[in-house]
Amino acid sequence: MGTLDGLHALVTGAGSGIGAAIVRALAKEGAIVSLVGRRKVPLEEIAKSLPNATAIVADVTKTADCAAMVEAAHAAHGPIDIVIANAGAAESAPAGKISVAHWDRMIGVNLTGAFFTVQAALGDVMRKGVGTRRIVFTASTAGLKGYPYAAAYCAAKHGVVGLARALAAELKLSGVTVNAVCPGFTDTPLLDGAATEIANKTGRTVSEARAALAKDNADGRLISPEEVASKVLWLCSPAAAATSGEAIVVDGGST
């Protein structure tokens, strides 16, 4: 028996990195999982490896896609009990050189997409007469402090933390808990992209760039996706029923 047996979890950004680790952690505890992302192949590969999972292609920055995403999850597994708004992206630039397109991309996928995801599923998670219901956002330590050359990303992730806290206050009498996890630099394809961008701009090697990012974490290493997933799993468990409105940091103690 798992702690999440029979609960239906919808996870965005589920095709790789933290999202894929969350999917596997939830499924291991008995959850039925709807995996959402923009790339069909990795979603289907992960779904096929799990006992009860469905891959759904959607762009969370579009309300129509989010509505269709929830409809597809319903058709496959019934009402949603757990929503993990994990989809995200990161770009860097000096503040004076951030274009409108850059700003819109960072706010769009990281903040607006997180809101659209949850809004589309609110009717399910707020339904009465059921047990565990959870909303968890993947934010970042960039949602709690500033980083140079990441103004748009930091603004978006600060917004995600604020969104989680606002929803926690709004839904506190409904039995739904709402929290955010805030990882430091984590060993994911997203970080690989950041390291490559740093290398291209500075002349460092990618390995040197990765090492520099790791130094921001207290113990000087990159966080693993599984470490983040373990915090999400706990927030989804019955043990976290009294925890809401929190921003759980996973960075070794730097923040």
153 is catalytic: yes
Question: Which candidate in 153, 156, 179, 225 is catalytic?
Answer: 153
The answer to whether the beta carbons of residues 215 and 222 sit under 8 Å apart is no
- Tell how strand 82-85 and strand 177-183 pair up: unpaired
Alpha helix stretches (DSSP H) within 140-203: 151-170, 189-202
Q: Residue 222: CA atoms inside 13 Å, Cβ hemisphere, count?
A: 21
Question: Residue written as tokens 């706990």?
Answer: 234
- Torsion sign across C-alpha atoms 69, 71, 74, 77: negative
Sequence-distant (6+) residues with CB within 8 A of 50 are: 23, 24, 27, 33
Q: Residue 137: CA atoms inside 13 Å, Cβ hemisphere, count?
A: 37
Q: What 8-state DSSP symbol labels residue 112?
A: I
The answer to whether the beta carbons of residues 113 and 160 sit under 8 Å apart is no
> Any idea which residues carry the catalytic annotation?
153
